[in-house]
Amino acid sequence: MCGICGVFSLGEPLGDRDRAEHRGMTRILRHRGPDQEGVIERGDFALGSTRLKIIDLTDQAGMPMSNEDGTVWITYNGEVTNFLELRRRFRLDERHRFRTSSDTEVLLHLYEDLGLDFVRELSGMFAFSLVDTRRRKAWIVRDFYGIRPLFFMHAGDRLYFSSEIKSFLHLDRFEDRIDHEAIYHYFSLAYIPDRLTPFEMVRELQGGWLLEVDLDTRRFEEREYYTIEYIPDRSLDEATATRRLREEMIDAVERNLISDAPLGMTLSGGFDTSSMLSIIRFLGRSKDLHTFSIRVDEPSYDESRWQHLMADFAGTRHHEVVVNPANVAEVFERHMAYMDEPSGDGAAIPTWVLAEDAKNYVSVLLSGEGGDEVFNAYETHVAWKVRNLYRRHVPKPLRDVIRKTAHRLPTDYRKLSFDFLARRFTAGAELDVPDAHFSWRHSLSAAEKAALMPDHHHYRRTETFFSDLYYSLDWEEELNRLSLVDIKYFFIGDLMVKNDRMMMAHSIEARFPWMDRILIEFASTIPPELRIKGLTRRYLQKQAMRDLVPDAIYRRNNMGLEMPHSLWFEGALRPLASKYFQRDRVERTGFLSFDTVDRMWQEHLGHRKDHGRSLWCILNFLAWFDLFVYEKSYKSYYP
């Protein structure tokens, strides 16, 4: 796992200033790879790497790496989990002289033998740039599901790329104009979607996409090279699908256990991490494995009972990290300095706190992220089924009465309270399928955003990101379309930003076995009625793991990691929020309305409306703005 960056000349050859700036781009990524730093610089390209040693701990495996004759170069971030199998299957040792046991060198030689089509053979996670000096071509490639980050900036006759946005901020050609459309959508989603970033000049390469650079014509093209397909295999009966899914899950976990550095896993106590740990136990690898759990210091958010049950069951070396308002306030600004972009994910700081502790023991952490998407475990997936029944059997006049009644319920700030669920469901149920899916997930409403950004609310409706993708698909099954929406937006835009930035801030590689390509490509053939049976979420996943997980885990419902913003804003987080919600802090952004922020704050404190998640999004944006735009003080948090 590493940080990567580079620059390509689309005009004049790179000069001394370009090379100096490129080295600065590389150095600022050293938290991602503190073990080894390297650059290769030529007249029309420069590649940089900061390496975290995971596979082959020798300096020989450093990057950028070349083939035997120095005509092909790669800088690479990720772990290709099937690299040993590919090395055998394509008989690479018969045609190439390997200097390392790394997956990086396997990628180089696969390219030499197969061309760029080798990418389709990979499983795992990756972001890389590869330069072929013979063909005078270069590529910047992001993995199928956007697990590893990759950003780019085109400025004049230069094309830059990096694992993190902050690499661009010191460049002479960078201009820190805020992309107001990106921020507008952020306030709906609690993350910035699609190719957008908080800066106009920087774009995010999407999962399954690449940039191809022609070093002779000085042109580049952005294109999709991999598409996620949901094609149900109707020949699969439940018994066969269960058996095959079990086999693929076990194989995915086993592939992700390959490491030359100390390896552990996160343990939420939910079904995804519990089934993963149960597989590791089944493989005989759980004894002395380090597991790390977060205990949120609020009863309705506490999952420690299940975490301890699983740690005892598997015999792991268990570590419990407590998250409370004091440590949230302590790391709030520091975590945002590493996040690079505003994020309203309430699990970001808990992930930071866990990674900080875990670094004392391991360099790799397996995570259950992605399981909710692959196995259809979200409450919104069941809500979709309930919506269809509700609209079919409950007349519209009665639904209107139910909706109005739900919105008059007293406000309860506990997690997934009845009033919250009732309001969200009854409002969303009146919309079409993708808009309902958006409504059940949104943070600020369109009206609230218009009040918050009075001069910047003329952009496309945020829900059209979901609906445009949903209606562009010709798949008959609605659940399959929603599953792709979740991967393309929530998984990439939220979950992977949180996991990558918070883990890599502490030089920890996070791995996601449930997002391994080989597993996903099988899971996407399972008919939807087996993935959710009746109203049972993750039905087939549970069947596949039935005899591996403890009964108590099999029967429980998931909660999902979150912080109790609504409750803590009334208490220990109130001073932090009050500092940022002052008039001068809000108005110096130049486009947020202080009156709107203050009204929401007072309504929340007065229990007139639960604005907890929305206020958390606003608070994180204001901190990001100070660190990256107004004060530009983010650098003070880097060693």
Tens of pLDDT, residue by residue over 122-163, are 999 999 999 999 999 999 999 999 999 999 999 999 999 999
Which DSSP symbol is given to 49?
Answer: E
Residue 596, pLDDT score: 98
Confidence of residue 415 (pLDDT cuts 50, 70, 90): low
pLDDT band at 244 (very low <50, low <70, confident <90, very high): very high
Nearest CA to 493 out of 128, 218, 193 is that of 193
Taking 70 as the threshold, does the pLDDT of residue 21 lie above it? yes
Sign of torsion over alpha carbons 471, 474, 480, 484 = negative
User: What is the band of 1 on the pLDDT scale with cuts at 50, 70, 90?
Assistant: low
* Rounded average pLDDT over 171-180: 97
Question: Does pLDDT of 414 surpass 90?
Answer: no
Cross-strand pairs, 209: 224
Query: Which range (193-197, 285-289, 300-304, 340-344) has the least confidence?
Result: 300-304
Tokens of 25: 């781009």
Is residue 558 very low, low, confident or very high in pLDDT (cuts 50, 70, 90)?
Answer: confident
Residue 406 has pLDDT above 90, yes or no: no
Return the closest-CA partner of residue 423 out of 409, 438, 436: 409
- What are the tens digits of pLDDT across the range 358-395? 999 999 999 999 999 999 999 899 999 988 888 989 88
Q: Quote the CA–CA distance of 27 and 41 in Å, as a whole number.
A: 15
Asked if residues 3 and 163 have their Cβ atoms less than 8 Å apart, the reply is yes
> At a CB cut-off of 8 Å and minimum separation 6, what does 111 contact?
72, 74, 118, 130, 132
Mean pLDDT for 27-35 is 97
Q: Please say whether the beta carbons of 421 and 155 come within 8 A.
A: no
Contact 311, 281 (CB under 8 A): no
pLDDT of residue 290: 98
- Beta-carbon-side half-sphere exposure of residue 96 (alpha carbons within 13 Å): 23
Where are the extended beta strands (E) located within 246-329? Answer: 263-266, 290-296, 317-323
- Please report, as a single letter, which amino acid is at residue 183: I
Q: The tokens of 205 are what?
A: 């390469």
pLDDT at residue 617 above 70? yes
315-324, 439-448, 463-472: segment of lowest average pLDDT = 439-448
pLDDT above 70 (res 412): no
Angle at 431 between CA 426 and CA 436, to 5 degrees: 75
pLDDT surpassing 90 at residue 224 = yes
**Apex 535 CA angle, 530 and 538, nearest 5:** 50
Closest residue by Cα to residue 245 from 543, 565, 598, 510: 543
User: What integer best gives the mean pLDDT of the chain?
Assistant: 95
Helix or strand run (H / E) with residue 31: none
At 148, give phi and psi (nearest 5°): -95, 140
CB atoms within 10 A of CB 353: 21
pLDDT at 236 over 70: yes
DSSP notation for 426-452: HHHTTS-HHHHHHHTT-SS-HHHHHHH
pLDDT tens string 40-67: 999 999 999 999 999 999 999 999 999 9
Q: What phi and psi values does residue 346 have, to the nearest 5 degrees?
A: -70, -5
Please give the single-letter amino acid code of residue 301.
Y
Q: State residue 140's pLDDT score.
A: 98
Do the strands 364-366 and 158-162 form a parallel or antiparallel pair, or are they unpaired? unpaired
522 is written with which tokens?
């099988």
User: In 10 A of CB 13, how many CB atoms?
Assistant: 9
Taking the C-alpha atoms of residue 211 and residue 137, their distance in angstroms, rounded to an integer, is 11
Indicate the range of 184-198, 379-393, 484-498, 575-589 predicted with least confidence: 379-393
pLDDT in tens, 97-113: 999 999 999 999 999 99
Q: Give tens-digit pLDDT for 253-276.
A: 999 999 999 999 999 999 999 999
| C-alpha span between 507 and 53 (Å, rounded) | 10
- Lowest model confidence (mean pLDDT) among 67-81, 97-111, 186-200, 294-308: 294-308
Average pLDDT value for residue range 442-470? 94
Element (H, E) at 172: none
DSSP H/E element including 473: none
- Residue 408 has what DSSP assignment? T
Does residue 402 surpass a pLDDT of 70?
yes
Beta bridge partners of 439: none
Q: Which residue has better confidence, 587 or 405? A: 587
Q: Rounded to an integer, what distance in angstroms lies between the CA atom of residue 332 and that of residue 254?
A: 36
For 516-527, what is the mean pLDDT? 97
DSSP state of 634: G
How many angstroms separate the CA atoms of 534 and 532, rounded?
Answer: 6
* Rounded-to-integer distance, Cα 376 and Cα 486, Å: 10
Q: Residue 411: its pLDDT value, please?
A: 67
What does R_g of the chain's alpha carbons equal in angstroms? Answer: 24
Is residue 2 pLDDT above 80, yes or no? yes
Is pLDDT at 440 greater than 90 in this prediction?
A: no
Query: Of 581, 576, 571, 564, whose CA–CA distance to 605 is shortest?
Result: 571
Structure token digits, residue 240: 């066969």
DSSP 82: T
- pLDDT at residue 413 greater than cutoff 70: no
Question: In 3D, which of 81, 65, 111, 165 has the Cα closest to residue 509?
Answer: 81
